[in-house]
Structure 1
Amino acid sequence: MRRPVALLALTALAVTGCGGNGSQTTAGPSTIPSSTVPTTEEPSSTTPAGTPSDTPSETPSPTTAPNCVDQKLNTLTLREQAGQLIMTGIDAAGMTSAQRTVVRQQNSGGVFLVGTGGSVSATRAATAAVNDAATVAGVRPLIAADQEGGKIQRLKGSGFDRIPAATVQGTWSSSKLTAQAQQWGSQLKQAGVNVDLAPVADVVPESLKAQNAPIGQLDREYGNTPEQAGQGVKAFVQGMRNAGIATSVKHFPGLGRVRGNTDFAAGVVDNVTVRGDADLQPFADGIAAGTSMVMISTVTYTRIDPKNRAVFSPTVIQGMVRGDLGWRGVVITDDVGSAAEVKSVPVGERATRFVAAGGDIVINAESGLTATMVNALVTKAQQDKFFAAKLTSSVRRVLTLKQDHGLVSCG
């Protein structure tokens, strides 16, 4: 039986100006006291979202220009604020007319490129159209792609390097990986993409690699130990940060011990991982390196919160990510639009439950579902003052991330 362990120290992260890494200043304790890490018998799943143990302060995150962020927050209508929390899936080769209508009418705060894209120049034309459709009140959209390498690389046309799999990247020196990631990030920047939904921080034990469908079978892991994975995560984040590209460490609290792939299978569970697990260290390493976001998986972790998928769990998001890891930046979902794992959850609830649990940006690969999600967020905020406050905090974190990457115009 694996026993919970305390995570290593997190260093204070500096916030850069526009075009920086997009992470908010945070500082962790020298160690997380073992008394704060529940045993496997603790009924963490029943802890209400508003209890002190799992709910850090909702005070605004520090930002380089708080007046600018607050100005924009006050300018946006409630519906526009809700739109900032949805990342809508569009064709990587360019929006269809239907997708363009959704992005424009729902004021999508971001888009997620799906399918296979073209060259750097073709992608630049596609992202320019997104900026035109999604910019609202001087706030431009996040434009994201899965550009990990190996079998997971959306953009492969002329001008984009073919990126090797993480299992190969993990054999390189940190300096080489950082330099290569900076080059890959520069190509994304030229194409108008400002977010790479990477790196994978999941640790896949060598004995489980062949059975692990979402990560191991696709060679997406940097290593089989927390130390190996953490080294790759840090180097990749630093390189992308140098190029001005936002990153998202994923898929907290880890997909390395599951069998099914949540994109295609439902009822995927992890019966091993515990709060304070040693395999969470690469996520802490990614935060320390300056990641912009932490992505939450849709798996259920029975020894952490058996009643909720991680993406809907206050214990995971508020307790572990914002509490144990001290993260005050943006928390984002894995896809909850087309993923088989969440098909049984009403569409609107996929957004409201995530925000209620402490999350910020909802990835929705099915553009046709965006309006339902936005409507659900608006309706719940109108009916529930506590939820409305959470929504406001989420929008503030998203705007702070955007301001740090030069996507907010004030004046």
Structure 2
Amino acid sequence: MRSPVALIALTVLVVAGCADSSAPTAGPSTAPSSTVPTTAEPTTPSRPTTTPPQSTQPATTPPPAPPTTKPTATRTASCVDQKLKTLTLREQAAQLIMTGINASGMTSAQRVVVQQQKSGSVVLLGSSGGLANTRTATAEVTSAGTVKGIRPFIAADQEGGQIQRLKGSGFDRIPAATVQSGWSSSKLTAQAQQWGRQLKQAGVNVDLAPVADVVPNSLKSSNAPIGQLDREYGNTPAEAARGVRAFVQGMNKAGIATSVKHFPGLGRVRGNTDFSAGVVDNVTVRGDADLQPFAAGVEAGTSMVMISTATYTKIDPKNRAVFSPTVIQGMVRGDLGWRGVVITDDVGAAAEVASVPVGDRATRFVAAGGDIVINAKPGLTATMVDALVTEAEQNPKFAAQLTSSVRRVLTLKQDQGLVSC
């Protein structure tokens, strides 16, 4: 039986022939480091093993559905299911929110949010002032955010270049992806492993990287979220895929979870979704060759796939990607065969979603098939949790989706050693 990635490749060949610089208060994966950043049911992710698509021409029809993934080990499923049963509905909903906090340590207001809401994840914003300071901050987060033996994900944007949040004593200065791309794959993997070990020592368990977006040469200077910040690994799918694969493999060796981003790609847009609304891609299609780096990340063993907040008119003109069942269920879970955690780009502080009611940003994402909601504004966390609980109480179908999402999150947490059974 063909693997999911092989099916993508077959479709691209037969038919013949993708946010971020963060706002000063925005969430992960988006701005120069001098500013604060912006960025079913199976229980384990499927990681295809065949070569991702090489064609440079987009497909115009969706690939066929992937084969069913293998079942999880009984021990893992048993532990996750046991933990899931102990959580109240509100505690389950909280597992799906990643709350932004200061990397230098939680403010009193942020501490109240993490303690009272029991956010399942946090993302470190701003600079921490070195590895030792970061370790102190993450220890406090773990203490405040642990619920019933389930510890929080603690994430950071540690790409390199202008997007390196954690710096100072104990952290290497990481070059931009455009520099990393000039290294051999073995060197990049080794360097990523070293950077990952430093994150591990600091108490960080998730790197919201690497960028899998392909930026064409002709758009380099006009592409605000990626090209202008040198965040891309290449201007062709094959070049970008090589860098993504090597980075993910290195972080995996260090025990750090990764998130390939920003599906289905921000390399062809002009505006930055952190600063601008109405960011649109009128080119990318389902089965596009520029999706190859995402497939490479999945194949290499990424832990999450991050979804863009831009709108892709040739895929789903009615919904931003982050709220699109076509993008999440059809393309990520269907075409890529991904059964693991799907995460948003920031939907807390980003200008692109400012017009969307806060609660809807969480419920629409989960309803579309997603799992973890990044919220760079901690003051919005309670509203998002409330909305998820209310929708689950009123809508049995949504309640089942929420449970599936929590199961995927807990499965990944167990893989990372964050669940005690």
Q: How does the TM-score come out when normalised to structure 2?
A: 0.86
CA RMSD of aligned residues (A): 2.4
Match of 2:34 in 1: none
Residue 148 of structure 1 corresponds to which residue in structure 2? 159
Indicate how the Cα distance of structure 1 residues 28 and 186 shifts in structure 2: closer, same or farther if over 3 A, else same: closer
Contact kept? 2:7, 2:66, Cα under 8 Å: no
Q: How does 1:195-274 map to 2 (within 5 A)?
A: 195-274=206-285
Count residues with an aligned counterpart: 381
- Give the match for residue 47 of structure 1: none
The answer for the alignment partner of 2:202 in structure 1 is: 191
Q: Which runs of 5+ in 2 are unaligned?
A: 1-5, 11-42
Q: What SS class does the counterpart of residue 111 from structure 1 fall into? A: strand
Residues 50-84 of structure 1 deviation map (CA, whole Å, 9 limit, x = unaligned): xxx88998998667611000000000000000000
Q: What is the letter of the counterpart of residue 129 of structure 1?
A: E
Deviation at 1:8, TM superposition (A): 3.1
Structure 1 match to 2:173: 162
Q: Is the 8 A contact 1:93 1:116 kept in 2?
A: yes
Contact 2:52 2:295 survives alignment (8 Å): no
- The alignment status of 1:123 with 2:134, answered yes or no, reads yes
What do the CA deviations read for 1:300-350 (whole angstroms, capped 9, x no partner)?
A: 000000000000000000000000000000000000000000000000000
Partner of 2:45: 24
Distance 2:419 2:128 in 1: 26
- Aligned partners of 2:168, 2:403: CA distance in 1, in Å? 39
Q: 1:95 to 1:271 in 2, by over 3 A?
A: same
C-alpha separation in 1, matches of 2:52 and 2:186? 28
Aligned equivalents of 1:220, 1:139: Cα separation in 2: 33
- Give me the whole-angstrom Cα distance separating, in 2, the residues matched to 1:360 and 1:175: 32
Q: 1 CA distance for matches of 2:269 and 2:396?
A: 37
Cα distance between partner residues in 1 of 2:341 and 2:67? 14
SS, match of residue 144 in structure 1: strand
Q: Does 1:358 align with 2:359?
A: no
Supply the AA of the counterpart residue of 1:201.
A
Quick check: 2:214–2:232 contact (8 Å CA) kept in 1? yes
Aligned to 2:143: 132
Determine what percentage of the aligned residue pairs are the same residue. Answer: 77
Q: Which residue of 1 aligns with 2:8?
A: 7
Deviations 1:138-181 (A, max 9, x none): 00000000000000000011000000000000010000000000
Alignment-mate amino acid for residue 290 of structure 2: D
TM-score norm. by structure 1 comes to: 0.88
CA contact (8 A) 1:60 1:397 kept: no
Q: Could you tell me how far 1:24 is from its partner in structure 2? A: 2.4
Report how far residue 6 of structure 1 moved.
6.2
Change over 3 Å in CA distance of 1:130–1:102 after alignment to 2: same
How is 1:3-402 mapped onto 2 (pairs within 5 angstroms)?
7-8=8-9, 24-27=45-48, 39=60, 65-402=76-413
Partners in 2 of 1:271 and 1:92 — Cα distance?
Answer: 37
Give unpaired runs (5+ residues) of structure 1: 10-21, 43-52
C-alpha distance in 1, partners of 2:51/2:161? 37
- Distance in 2 between residues matched to 1:149 and 1:31, nearest whole Å: 25
1:135–1:141 CA contact under 8 A, matched in 2: yes
